């Protein structure tokens, strides 16, 4: 705890969540935003929507500027079918980062705006459930969002702040939506909301109407005075956090406090009111936490060398796998019995078939077992880098899983009695 | 001899962006006024929050790094999206004492609606809000239907019939019944007071 406190005190508290990024991190945001819209489009039912009386529809905001004739065409069966399939195709293309960017993105963002406007225009539905994803779909259009994690040729090499900026702007859009909801609730609504029976009624209404059971969790929660007081107190805290949301963008410690309140709040609303802002929860994890950094290949000062148990490392499935996913040759490979391993001071394996077959030397550090595997994932970056989340699993458990796989490595990955001739790139990767 | 003070690029960018933002906001304000509404608070809330964020050098530096056209376009898009949200919020009337969320109908916050499809034999099938909603907003959709019933009673049967047509039980049903239940919040435990008679009965075309 004291070390944590010292680290916290030593770090600058004022700062953005992402000041410099690679294309992979921005690619993750793109995949998430348009992927969320793709999933929402799969739930659209044109036949049902077309049966809605036109009188119930009312367009909001800028959408109100569209002429009635256009809405008539869009709200017809044919218009809704077209919107669904265009939306599915465009959001899929945008999520995959197909070029030329942002052509697919423009189509996806327009489809998302219309779909969102229709859903809310019919239901009189006002919340910030899909708002951040909608804002994100538009904001990504002005950034090179298809440079990373995209199908086809990879690009990159831009100023890292250009990749970081959209994450900042998307975070700003998300937090502004929260700030708006909290502020309007507090200042334009009624303060008595936070002390009277409104929340109780709201829980009960949602529970009964959505699950049809008056004994649902939302009702039960409010039947006990102490629990209801706790819920109201929590709602005060949540409202305060919502109003202070912009601060979470620029203050590190407050950001974690904010996330620690808002993520459980979203989970709680699912169980008590059947409201789940899953799009917001995913977006927050990407734009407000260091999670996307897992995708960025680790910077190496001295290099990474992987030592594998075996005289002929090229015969090893792991070596072949690395050669496939590390075209840049950042990970060099040698045998544990080789000269380089001896120079690095890495001891030879001692009998245990699963305990010592892969060792990673990285920037002067020796990583063994599961640490070595996670270290290789970090150097490779991209989706492999995401597997570093397993570092959160306690090491003894990880090592046990590693031993299980390592002990069966020949059965799982095969054993080669004969080598194919190494290519020039493979030979350069090899260590003596 | 003194050298003329150099223009601070960060401040310059902030003024440029702030001016652009303000201009956009005024533009949207005029646009909205032309559409016949006022929503000063909604604009103010966003303007203050953006000003707070731009007050931090790190935020200004990142905007400056991406260049004026990207920063400007991003801010205009941000404002446009904010306008959509503000527009939705401003459309809703707020009750005096029991305001909870945007979607709650102000004048009947303690009423729960239930819709039943009744088959020729008299058996009832409860229809949940999400079964009727065109997208995924069933609860508020019910209230919208009720609002329609008040403002335009002639349209209500058609609206309810159209909504009910989505339910699987519709094919065999004879009529659709709309019933309201009062939710008594003053008493504990919370209970529903059922009213056996239907508020509205809409026969279905056979």
Backbone angles phi, psi at A344, to 5 degrees: -80, -5
Cβ within 8 Å of residue B34, ≥6 positions away:
none
| Whether A202 and B100 lie within 8 Å, measured CB to CB | yes
| Whether B66 and A143 lie within 8 Å, measured CB to CB | yes
Q: Tell me the C-alpha distance between A59 and A23, whole Å.
A: 37
Choose the closest CB to B88 out of A61, A165, A196: A61
| Whether A55 and B88 lie within 8 Å, measured CB to CB | no
Mean pLDDT computed over A158-182: 86
Does A298 or A352 have the greater pLDDT score? A298
| A positions 234-263 inside 8 Å of B (CB) | 245-247, 249-250
* Beta bridge pairs of residue B114: B179
Buried/exposed code over A407-416 (b: 16+ C-beta within 10 A; e: otherwise)? eebeeeeeee
* Beta bridge pairs of residue B191: B184
| Whether B92 and A126 lie within 8 Å, measured CB to CB | yes
Q: Tell me the C-alpha distance between B109 and B98, whole Å.
A: 7
| B positions 1-30 inside 8 Å of A (CB) | none
Mean pLDDT, chain A, rounded, equals 80
Record the pTM.
0.78
A87-93 long-range Cβ contacts below 8 angstroms, 24+ apart: A87/A37, A87/A41, A87/A44, A87/A111, A87/A112, A87/A115, A88/A38, A88/A41, A88/A42, A91/A34, A91/A35, A91/A37, A91/A38, A91/A41, A92/A34, A92/A38
Q: How far is CA A121 from CA A115, B54, B91, B144, in A?
A: 10, 33, 11, 10
Evaluate if residue B9 carries a pLDDT over 60. yes
Question: For A54-58, A371-375, A391-395, A417-421, which range has the lowest pLDDT when averaged over its residues?
Answer: A417-421
| Whether B137 and A64 lie within 8 Å, measured CB to CB | no
Q: How far is CA A260 from CA A238, A263, A300, in A?
A: 11, 6, 33
pLDDT value of residue A262: 93
pLDDT value of residue B103: 36
* Whether A16 contacts B61, CB under 8 Å: no
pLDDT value of residue B61: 79
Distance from CA of A162 to the nearest CA of B (A): 5
Q: Tell me the C-alpha distance between A249 and B12, whole Å.
A: 22
Identify the band that residue B97 occupies on the pLDDT scale cut at 50, 70 and 90.
Answer: very low
Residue B168 contacts A, CB cutoff 8 Å: no
Choose the closest CB to A138 out of B31, B56, B77: B77
Q: Tell me the C-alpha distance between B75 and B93, whole Å.
A: 29
Mean pLDDT computed over A128-149: 87
Q: Taking CA atoms, what residue in A is nearest to B109?
A: A201
| Whether B66 and A127 lie within 8 Å, measured CB to CB | no
Mean pLDDT computed over A249-271: 90
* Beta bridge pairs of residue B176: B117, B202
| A390 DSSP 8-state letter | G
Q: B54 is written with which tokens?
A: 């731009």
Query: Cβ–Cβ contacts within 10 Å for residue A339, how many?
Result: 11
Evaluate if residue B49 carries a pLDDT over 70. yes
Identify the band that residue A419 occupies on the pLDDT scale cut at 50, 70 and 90.
Answer: low
Evaluate if residue A244 carries a pLDDT over 60. yes
Identity of the highest mean pLDDT range in A269-278, B80-89, B111-120: A269-278
Evaluate if residue A416 carries a pLDDT over 70. no
Mean pLDDT computed over A62-71: 86
- The length of chain B in residues reads 206
* Whether B135 contacts A84, CB under 8 Å: no
- Spell out which residues of chain A touch residue B85, defining contact as CB-CB under 8 Å: 61, 128, 131, 177, 180
- Spell out which residues of chain B touch residue A168, defining contact as CB-CB under 8 Å: 59, 62
Mean pLDDT computed over A153-181: 84
Choose the closest CB to A210 out of B56, B84, B139: B139
pLDDT value of residue B107: 44
Residue A208 contacts B, CB cutoff 8 Å: yes
| Whether A198 and B99 lie within 8 Å, measured CB to CB | yes
Q: How far is CA B50 from CA B14, B47, B78, B127, in A?
A: 11, 5, 10, 44
Buried/exposed code over A242-268 (b: 16+ C-beta within 10 A; e: otherwise)? bbbbbbbbbbeebbeebbebbbebbeb
Mean pLDDT, chain B, rounded, equals 67
Q: Taking CA atoms, what residue in A is nearest to B82?
A: A177
Query: Cβ–Cβ contacts within 10 Å for residue A134, how many?
Result: 26
pLDDT value of residue A3: 56
Residue A165 contacts B, CB cutoff 8 Å: yes
A324-327 long-range Cβ contacts below 8 angstroms, 24+ apart: A325/A380, A325/A384, A326/A379, A326/A380, A327/A425
């Amino acid at each position: 705890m004291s070390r944590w406190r010292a680290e916290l005190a030593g770090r600058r508290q004022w700062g953005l969540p992402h000041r410099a990024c690679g294309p992979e991190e921005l690619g993750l945001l793109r995949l998430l935003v348009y992927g969320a819209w793709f999933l929402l489009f799969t739930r659209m039912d044109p036949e049902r929507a077309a049966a809605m009386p036109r009188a119930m529809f009312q367009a909001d905001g800028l959408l109100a500027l569209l002429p009635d004739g256009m809405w008539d065409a869009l709200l017809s069966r044919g218009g809704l079918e077209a919107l669904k399939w265009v939306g599915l195709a465009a959001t899929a293309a945008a999520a995959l980062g197909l070029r030329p960017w942002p052509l697919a993105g423009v189509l996806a963002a327009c489809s998302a705006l219309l779909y969102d406007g229709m859903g809310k225009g019919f239901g009189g539905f006002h919340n910030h459930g899909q708002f951040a994803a909608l804002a994100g779909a538009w904001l990504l259009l002005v950034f090179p969002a298809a440079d990373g994690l995209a199908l086809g040729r990879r690009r990159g090499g831009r100023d890292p702040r250009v990749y970081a900026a959209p994450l900042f702007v998307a975070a700003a859009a998300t937090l502004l939506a929260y700030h708006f909801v909290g502020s309007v609730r507090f200042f334009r609504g009624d303060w008595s909301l936070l002390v009277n029976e409104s929340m109780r009624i709201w829980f009960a209404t949602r529970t009964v109407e959505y699950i049809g059971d008056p004994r649902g969790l939302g009702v039960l929660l409010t039947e006990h005075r102490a629990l209801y007081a706790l819920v109201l107190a929590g709602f005060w805290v949540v409202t305060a956090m919502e109003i202070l949301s912009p601060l979470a963008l620029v203050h590190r410690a407050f950001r974690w406090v904010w996330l620690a309140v808002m993520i459980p709040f979203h989970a709680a609303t699912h169980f008590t009111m059947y409201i789940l802002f899953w799009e917001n929860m995913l977006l927050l994890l990407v734009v407000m936490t260091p999670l996307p950094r897992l995708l960025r290949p680790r910077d190496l000062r001295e290099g990474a060398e992987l030592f594998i148990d075996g005289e002929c490392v090229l015969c090893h499935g792991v070596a072949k796998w690395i050669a496939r996913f590390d075209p840049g040759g950042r990970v060099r490979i040698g045998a544990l019995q080789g000269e380089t391993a001896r120079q690095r001071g890495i001891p030879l394996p001692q009998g245990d078939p699963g305990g010592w077959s892969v060792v990673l030397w990285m920037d002067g550090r020796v990583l063994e077992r599961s640490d070595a595997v996670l270290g290789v994932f970090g150097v490779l970056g991209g989706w492999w880098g995401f597997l570093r989340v397993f570092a959160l699993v306690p090491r003894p458990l990880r090592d046990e899983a590693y031993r299980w796989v390592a002990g069966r490595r020949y059965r799982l990955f095969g054993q080669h009695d004969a080598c194919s001739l190494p290519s020039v790139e493979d030979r350069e990767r090899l260590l003596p | 001899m003194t050298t003329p003070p150099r223009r601070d690029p960060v401040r310059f960018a902030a003024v440029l962006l702030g001016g652009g933002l303000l201009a956009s906001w005024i533009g949207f304000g005029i646009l909205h006024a032309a559409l016949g509404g006022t929503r000063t608070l909604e604009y103010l809330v966003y303007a203050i929050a953006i000003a707070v964020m731009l007050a931090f050098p790190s935020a200004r530096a990142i905007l400056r790094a991406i260049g004026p056209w990207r920063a400007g376009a991003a801010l205009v898009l941000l404002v446009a999206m904010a306008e959509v949200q503000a527009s939705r919020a401003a459309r809703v009337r707020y009750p005096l004492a029991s305001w909870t969320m945007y979607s709650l109908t102000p004048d009947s916050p303690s009423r729960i609606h239930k819709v039943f499809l009744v088959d020729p034999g008299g058996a009832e099938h409860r229809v949940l809000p999400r079964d009727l909603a065109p997208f995924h907003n069933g609860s508020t959709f019910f209230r919208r239907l009720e609002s329609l019933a008040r403002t335009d009673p002639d349209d209500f049967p058609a609206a309810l019939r159209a909504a009910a047509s989505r339910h699987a039980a519709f094919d065999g049903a004879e009529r659709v019944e709309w019933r309201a239940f009062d939710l008594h919040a003053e008493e504990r435990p919370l209970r529903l007071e059922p009213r056996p008679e239907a508020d509205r009965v809409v026969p279905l075309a056979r």
